[in-house]
Structure 1
Amino acid sequence: MSEHMVMGVLKDAISTGMLVAAPILVAAIVVGLIISIFQATTQIQEQTLTFVPKIITVALVGLLTGGWMLNNLVAFTERIFTLISNIVQ
């Protein structure tokens, strides 16, 4: 296994991980920002106000994009197994 191949696998792993995690992270950040602006303008400092909408949003985004995330992870796993089988031969 060459250094170039290892770097390619690492690049593929990092890009797949970022791609799979992005929808949930972006949704949580956007909802958190909206709630922070709402809290700053109304001066309501309730702790549960930040968590409940984020949990609901993350759950909805997970349900909506779960199949796509799973397909990306399965494709990555197949690429890794194909690479491993080519190395052994």
Structure 2
Amino acid sequence: MTLLWLCVLWVFASVGVAMLPMRRQYVPGVALLLAAPVLIVMIGLQMGWLIAALALAAFVSMYRNPLKFLIAKLRGQNPQVPE
């Protein structure tokens, strides 16, 4: 039950961060980006890997632009950051 509340809190925090101006999204967005894999692994351990795969799909859908940015940075490209 605690996992459910942590996941709900994470979703509401992500929505709240998304409503912030872009320059104020970085710090809380990175914290949420780092917390998501931990929650997804916990979901996988408690609920099964099919549910974890659905959670991963939802996470990738919500964070597709930051993930594209990180992948471009890892490839050595210089992606543009919106202001």
Give TM-score, length-normalised by structure 1: 0.36
Which structure is higher in helix share?
1
Q: Rg: which structure is higher?
A: 1
Give TM-score, length-normalised by structure 2: 0.37
